[in-house]
Structure 1
């Protein structure tokens, strides 16, 4: 786990620390490792690896979103030490939602270092139809009142750098025309895991080393918007500029 990648992520997130061999990595920094580059002819229209050709089955729906995740931290991953990631499909399911058919895929990722399991991550993905341009947008769910609040501003440079570090080709994060004209967003979309990363670091600063963390994306956050990150003990959330809830999360720490 090359320390230079962790350094680059720290710079991207506005953090001062740098990493040497053997240093523990902050929670969720493993997102910038374990790339699986796919040739261009293996990508879908959205820039992600085409479903049905690799780990994720073809669910017959074009729009992909990271809906949430759950992580347990048995031990910190350490910079400069070899690691392995083992990924499996836990479940797939199709449902009929209010706006049309939905498909859900849950992946499990086990990250092993020095022969021991360090991180287990469950990743929840949702697939949807293309948006109906005539449909009314649902009313946003309102966030709770601010507690222990801090603001984080997202812009296109931050989104681009995070996409590059995580080798995430999803065009909603950097291709404004695609995000608007194909997927129906008003602008570029902030990565769900990037927002979760900020919440995770906020939790770790206040509570100490995390043993578990879960998060759920509630509404998209645009690339020109400021998120207000809040924490009430082990409960966390991110509020968008209009007062809507963008993400909710729960942290756990050891005894």
Structure 2
């Protein structure tokens, strides 16, 4: 069942260069971006904050549903998928405008119970020119619902091992102003949402895959990804690449994310 929602809002951000340097350092890269430099893909994710006071937050640390995101009666939220179309490169330290609209709200019955998908479209402009179109798909589900993880391919032509820890997850949460407690409150993640530890951000995995793809292809024209299973902060994962396809393989061959790049 699909609901019709026409909610929209706009924001402006100055793309503060210091915040970009903090992300470079968090990812283990030299903090060398200068004002006017093209930003690496997905760096815009640390901008356009929407801070809310504590009273306006839900139990998970996210802003309570019912304002921009509708309340669908399902408590658990995850970032399910995304698509980015790079019209031109975004520039560090240059003011940007973002318009956002909810494209659709869809309810489904999955194998693990009822699901609701919210699709949000963002258009980001700099100096009056459309630079990036991003589609985000969020999924909401019941407490205790768990899906079976698929097995990842093993036919990659290039691979890179990545590790995580609670410090990295905390710093990425801070830079993206993501209050979701599954990324920094291990007791909440285990006892309330039923995970085996802190959950690595879906956008962080997508960010790493985008960087991996850009190293192969140069400047990207588009990138699409879908999260297929959670990865915990104590787990080692492998970024994999083959012919424009990328994926994250976790322990026991668990597929955590799939992506296509061009």
What interval of TM-score do these two structures reach, taking the shorter chain for normalisation? Answer: over 0.9
1:97-246 pair list within 5 angstroms: 97-131=110-144, 139-145=148-154, 146-246=156-256
Distance 2:165 2:208 in 1: 15
TM-score (normalizing by structure 1): 0.95
Write the distance in 1 (CA, Å) between the matches of 2:61 and 2:131: 30
Unaligned ranges ≥5, structure 2? 1-14
Give 1:25-104 correspondences, 5 Å limit: 25-52=39-66, 54-104=67-117
Question: Which runs of 4 or more aligned residues in structure 1 lie more than 6 Å from their structure 2 counterparts after TM superposition?
Answer: none
What's the RMSD between the two structures over aligned residues? 1.0
Deviation at 1:16, TM superposition (A): 2.2
Q: Name the SS for the 2:40 alignment partner.
A: coil
Partner of 2:203: helix, strand, or coil?
A: helix
Match of 1:18 in 2: 32
CA 1:44/1:138 → structure 2, altered by over 3 Å: closer, same or farther? closer
- Unaligned 5+ runs, structure 1: none
SS in 1 for 2:252: coil
> What is the TM-score of this pair, normalised by structure 2?
0.92
Number of residue equivalences = 247
1:65 is displaced (CA, Å) by 0.2
CA contact (8 A) 1:63 1:127 kept: yes
For residues 118 and 211 of structure 1, the distance between their equivalents in structure 2, rounded to whole angstroms, comes to 11
| 1:4/1:19 contact within 8 Å kept | no
Report the 3-state secondary structure (helix = DSSP H, G, I; strand = E; otherwise coil) of the residue aligned with 1:229.
Answer: strand
| Displacement of 1:147 | 2.9
Once residues 156 and 120 of structure 1 are traced to their aligned partners in structure 2, the CA distance between those partners, rounded to angstroms, is 31
Q: Deviations over 1:107-149 (max 9, x none)?
A: 00111100011010000000000006xxxx6543111114301
Deviation string 1:57-97 (CA, Å, 9 cap, x unpaired) is 11110000000100000011101111111111000011111
The whole-number CA distance in structure 1 between the counterparts of 2:165 and 2:81 is 22
Q: How does 1:241-252 map to 2 (within 5 A)?
A: 241-252=251-262
